[in-house]
Chain A
Amino acid sequence: MSRLRRVPWGGLALAAALAVPAFGSRFYTFVATDVVILALFAVSLNLLLGYTGLVSFGHAAYFAIGAYTCGILMKKAAVPFALAWPAGGLLAAALALVFGFFCVRLTKIYFAMLTLAFAQIVWAICFKWNDVTGGEQGMPEVPYPELAWMARLPGLGDLRTSDHFYLLTVVLVGLCLGILRRIVGSPFGRILTTIRENPERAEFIGVDVRRYELVAFVIAGGFAGLAGALFGIFNRGVFPDFAYWPKSSEALIMTLLGGMGHFWGPAVGALVLLVLNQQITAYTEYWPFVLGTILIVLLFAFPGGIVGALDAAARRLGRRR
């Protein structure tokens, strides 16, 4: 068990992810990009869900704000990706600060409903503000970043642009996950877990619970924005769907599936959910039925998610030895 803990899972995952374009399949790269970006989205949500104990039903709002900001800047103002991407994260964080200011004043289901309400407002704005967001039709043809420099790197010359963008995505998401990992392992992260466990008691070890919740909300929103910004480019366009509630629930499902008790849980959840989705829709149109069944089994049999179940199994094996 302790031996399993010492395996550098993050490094292995990074190496595996970087190797995907070597297979030369357009489809693999496509699925892998999707997984990597949504892994960041789900992990950012888990900062609230798994670490702070806050259930947000509206995390898609920040994903969409990041996507629209980056997409609009790149398409309409020809701003380079190096500026547009961080701008997407920053604006998402700024709006998370405004919305979060109200949300953290409520608790439990009221908190969750208010996050949903704000997300629906964001969706309505994306949907109706035709001049800026393209309205209902969205905004297709968000350009790829300038990646010709990558072709000059040794070994990457004969890859497609989508492969280049994928590699860039892996590196940037890896960086973001590294930062998030560091945050949850910091004193700040430990205080968040006390809020998850017992907000009343946390107040009386001197924790300003609302302020910590707000900071966590802003960080989670910022990283969701960065994920959304990458997604808009990957998706070759930004659409109001990004802010709609099913997008929020997608991240929630990934987190539950993978396990919210572990840092990598939501990322594993993203991988499993998207790969299953691809595989199962090839055989049947009843994917939601299959997904629902999987979730029911999971919630009853493995409430700790996939990573939680694996961890428990490894622990049992370790004890037997």
Chain B
Amino acid sequence: MLEVRDLRKSFAGFQAVAGVSFSVARGEIAAIIGPNGAGKTTLFNLVTGHVRPDAGTVTLKGRDITGLPPHAVCRLGMGRSFQRTNIFPRLTVFQNVQAAFISHRGRGRDLWTPVDRLYRAETEAVLASIGLLDRAGEMSGFLSHGARKQLELGLALASEPDLLLLDEPTAGMSATETRETIDLVSRIAGERGLTLLFTEHDMDVVFSIARRVTVLHQGSVIAEGPPAAVRADAEVRRVYLGERR
């Protein structure tokens, strides 16, 4: 599904990502972990086209997408949620998701049809699956943090992606919200046959749903494998887990 080869990026001499390679197979749930500043978000930005890499390639479903702009990457079947919540605050919940459908189905070029009833069924289906259907008419900017994160997931789903990238999906959440979000994400991934790649701080989250973990440290991969093996890895324990426990 996704293959990253020797990706490099430095900012003003600082090597944020120093030659990272990994791949994610179709249907897999993979996690990237690492301490703060390990380069996780930069790596995501390189994969999604928000930042152009200095070197290396990104291949999605066998197609080279290195250096493509984000909107093109999105169209090719990659969905993304952001670490800092990223929605359209002065649109309603319904309008948020509907806009994603309009864009994804290429209807944005239509300057004449009234928009209100467009993609109603599809939008409501997504809202139902993220549990926000009864709040469809609310201004999304007034939602709670947890509900906004859910809506963001809805935006990503409306682009009907094959691969979904989640940047710290539970950042800033309470324990309950975290639990709910994880249940939601894994249920939806299962239902839709999505491939998931996420970064995460919370080790419990990572080890509960990821089937494959890549550990990033100072811009390089230091370990990779199933959760149990990664947890046992001496190097990982030293640079990362050891710091916390």
Contacts and interface: CB of A to CB of B under 8 A. Distances in A.
Query: Majority SS of interface residues in chain A?
Result: helix
A205 B107 contact: no
Contacts of A208: 69, 71-72
Contact of B115 (A190, A196, A197, A204): A190
A203 B74 contact: yes
Q: Interface range on chain B: under 10, 10 to 19, 20 to 34, or 35 or more? A: 35 or more
Nearest to A261: B90
Interface stretch (A57-65, A147-155, A181-189): A181-189
B110 interface: yes
Interface stretch (B81-89, B127-135, B226-234): B81-89
A186 B112 contact: yes
Interface string B122-161: 0000000000000000000000000000000001001100
Which residue of A203, A206, A212 has the most chain B CB atoms within 10 A of its CB atom?
A206
Contacts of A193: 88, 90-91, 95, 99
Contacts of A203: 50, 69-71, 74
A248 interface: no
Contacts, number: 100
B104 A201 contact: no
A96 to B, nearest CB: 16
Interface residues of A, number: 25
A188 B80 CA distance: 23
A183 B107 CA distance: 13
Nearest to A193: B91
A191 interface: yes
Interface in B53-101: 69-72, 74-75, 79-80, 82, 86-91, 95, 98-100
Of B70, B74, B86, B159, most buried by chain A (CB within 10 Å of CB) is B70
Nearest to A197: B88
B111 interface: yes
Nearest to A192: B108
Contact of B102 (A191, A196, A198): A191
Interface in B144-182: 155, 158-159
B195 interface: no
A156 interface: no
Given A185-B114, A188-B111, A194-B88, A201 B155 contact: yes
Interface of B: 48, 50, 69-72, 74-75, 79-80, 82, 86-91, 95, 98-100, 102-104, 107-116, 118, 155, 158-159
